[in-house]
């Protein structure tokens, strides 16, 4: 790794950040901005899942329950007491942490598949509960008809804006935050523990790592930030429907995006999230109104082919290109052997 290389990367990064910050000036149509916001939200959610699913290798297939619990608690508190969603999101996030500990404690002691199956069953159960709970006491949950966020017009304190632009910047900050946290975890002691227990749980335990404890921490971090994603979704769409926010499509989508992008890496889920969500929106836009099921069929085929031909994720392609580029660059400069430092 050379000084020149680091500078080159930070220049690329800086340019990228500036471009992202200026984007709403170029993209003025609300629909296009909405699509971009959704893509960034998926990148964010895939990154949240990646902390437990990628770093720790614990396959959670029910992360929709965390988006749901964050969204529902925040919205219910806002609708009933007028509590600002900015404060409510901490309550929702805290509840998500509690839920993740309740699910994780009994299942993390077992082999991975039990955790995966338990998360599926629990999330299906919660979807049924949400669909059939009209209200709890004075709190309106909405049941199958869904829950509408009380509209107060454009108000920053209430997390409601008429323009899409504030949402864009909020989701951008959330995405940067989760990338920063993922990078921090990966380079911290916790990150090394997680990789160790992902690769070989028995060996990790033999080395003195408290396997269950570290899984629970990773699960709680992941749950908290996933819940924040749910809150953002709720305030963006302003309508909660149990199947959409907690259902299997929400849960599996996060996993698809992270794995197709490259699970266990910092930037893989971000790339996978943005690319795949964009592809999905484009297909839906052009084919959605035509033959029923066609756009999801194509989407499924893309995921299928990507898993078969690029099982380590799209990030590997990027790394390869990056390596080739830097090798060429170094050969020209008379140096060789420098690894690509951006390899997230």
Partner 1 sequence: MGFLSVVANGLSMGAIYGLIALGLTLIFGIMKIINFAQGALLMLSMMISYWLWAATGLSPYVLIIIVAPIMFVVGYLCERVLIKPVLDAQKDVREPVSVLLLTAALAIVLENLALMVFGADYVMAKTSFSDVTLAFGPVTVSAARFYGLIIALVVAGLFYLFLMYSQTGRNLRATGQDRNAASLMGIDITRTYAIAFGIGTALLSVAAVALIPFYYIHPSVGQVFMTKAFIVVVLGGLGSVPGALLGGIIIGLIESIAAQYMTATLTVILVYAVFLLVLFTKPSGIFGSPYEW
Sequence-ordered list of residues with C-beta below 8 angstroms from that of 125, at least 6 positions apart, any chain: none
Site string for partner 1, 107-136 (x = CB under 8 A): x-xxxxxx-xxx-xxx-xx--xx-xx----
Site string for partner 1, 147-186 (x = CB under 8 A): ----------------------------------------
Q: Exactly one of 145, 297, 324, 331 binds partner 1 (CB under 8 A); which one? A: 297
Subset of 224-253 contacting partner 1 (CB under 8 A): 248, 252
- Give dist(CA 96, CA 90) in Å, integer: 10
For partner 1, the closer CB: 9 or 241: 241
| Chain position carrying tokens 């995921």 | 303
Q: How far is the CB of 338 from partner 1 (least distance, A)?
A: 26
The verdict on 51 binding partner 1 (CB under 8 A) reads no
For partner 1, the closer CB: 83 or 294: 294
CB-count burial class (<10 Å; 0-12, 13-18, 19+) for 312: middle
Q: How far is the CB of 230 from partner 1 (least distance, A)?
A: 21
Q: Exactly one of 82, 106, 134, 288 binds partner 1 (CB under 8 A); which one? A: 106
Q: Exactly one of 304, 321, 333, 339 binds partner 1 (CB under 8 A); which one? A: 304
Subset of 250-289 contacting partner 1 (CB under 8 A): 252, 255-256, 259, 263
The verdict on 294 binding partner 1 (CB under 8 A) reads yes
For partner 1, the closer CB: 83 or 283: 283
The verdict on 94 binding partner 1 (CB under 8 A) reads no
Residue 27: phi and psi, rounded to 5, are: -90, 100
The verdict on 311 binding partner 1 (CB under 8 A) reads yes
Q: Which tokens is 2 given?
A: 């050379």
Q: How far is the CB of 319 from partner 1 (least distance, A)?
A: 16
| Chain position carrying tokens 């500036």 | 18
For partner 1, the closer CB: 50 or 74: 50
How many residues bind to partner 1 according to rule CB under 8 A? 46
Binding site for partner 1 (CB under 8 A): 53, 57, 59, 106-107, 109-114, 116-118, 120-122, 124-125, 128-129, 131-132, 199-200, 248, 252, 255-256, 259, 263, 291-294, 296-297, 299-301, 303-304, 307-308, 311-312
């Amino acid at each position: 790794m050379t000084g020149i290389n680091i500078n080159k990367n930070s220049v690329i990064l800086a340019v990228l950040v500036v471009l992202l910050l200026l984007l709403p000036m170029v993209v003025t149509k609300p629909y296009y901005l909405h699509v971009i916001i959704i893509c960034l939200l998926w990148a964010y959610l895939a990154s949240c899942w990646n902390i437990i699913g990628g770093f720790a290798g614990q396959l959670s297939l029910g992360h929709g329950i965390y988006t749901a619990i964050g969204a529902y608690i925040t919205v219910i508190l806002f609708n009933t007491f007028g509590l600002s969603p900015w404060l409510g999101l901490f309550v929702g996030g805290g509840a998500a942490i509690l839920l993740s500990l309740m699910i994780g404690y009994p299942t993390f002691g077992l082999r991975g598949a039990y955790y995966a199956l338990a998360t599926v069953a629990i999330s299906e159960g919660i979807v049924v509960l949400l669909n059939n709970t009209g209200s709890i006491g004075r709190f309106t949950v909405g049941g199958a008809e869904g829950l509408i966020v009380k509209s107060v017009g454009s108000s920053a304190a209430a997390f409601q804006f008429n323009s899409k632009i504030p949402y864009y910047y909020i989701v951008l900050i959330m995405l940067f935050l989760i990338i920063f946290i993922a990078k921090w975890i990966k380079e911290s002691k916790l990150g090394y523990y997680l990789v160790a227990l992902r690769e070989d749980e028995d060996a990790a335990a033999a080395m003195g790592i408290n396997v269950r404890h570290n899984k629970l921490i990773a699960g709680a971090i992941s749950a908290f930030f996933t819940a924040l994603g749910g809150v953002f979704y709720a305030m963006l769409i302003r309508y909660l429907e149990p199947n959409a926010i907690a259902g299997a499509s929400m849960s599996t989508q996060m996993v698809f995006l992270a794995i197709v992008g490259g699970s266990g890496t910092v930037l893989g889920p971000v790339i996978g999230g943005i690319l795949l969500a964009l592809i999905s929106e484009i297909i839906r836009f052009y084919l959605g109104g035509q033959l029923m099921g066609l756009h999801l069929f194509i989407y499924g085929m893309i995921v299928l082919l990507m898993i078969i031909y690029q099982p380590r994720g799209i990030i590997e392609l990027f790394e390869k290109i990056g390596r080739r580029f830097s090798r060429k660059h170094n050969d020209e400069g008379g140096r060789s052997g420098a690894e690509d430092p951006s390899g997230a």
